[in-house]
Amino acid sequence: MELSIGEMALVAIAIVVLFGPDKLPQIARDLGSGVRKMRGAVEDIKTEILKETDNPVSEIKREIEKVKDAAKDFNPMQNIEENISKKPSESAPQKPVIKPADDETYEGPVSR
């Protein structure tokens, strides 16, 4: 909002007429004090908003860094390469597959 010189002069004349020249310095001090308080309040609100919005972002960044650090040591190909390089006799013993006909505890499909 921009005021021209003429508009500012009109406002000044209206203030002098309404309040008188004696109260003009006090009004100016009070007005300046009010503007300073409002600016301070706005800055405090800005600071609080930035603090509140910054916390989740910084927490997310920390979690991302933790995941990156954990992923550095993870090599999914390592287990595959080890299993391929081992001889079949060295790998873990295989559990024998039992056919349903040979299993005495096998009950078959159950209908309801």
Q: Tell me how far apart the alpha carbons of residues 42 and 48 are, in angstroms, rounded to a whole number.
A: 10
Structure tokens, 89? 């006799």
16-25, 42-51, 62-71, 87-96, range with the lowest pLDDT: 87-96
pLDDT confidence tier of residue 6, bands split at 50, 70 and 90: very high
Structure tokens, 7? 């508009």
Q: What is the pLDDT of residues 7-42, one digit of tens each?
A: 989 988 998 899 888 888 898 899 899 999 999 999
Query: pLDDT value at position 50?
Result: 80
Mean confidence (pLDDT) of the chain: 81
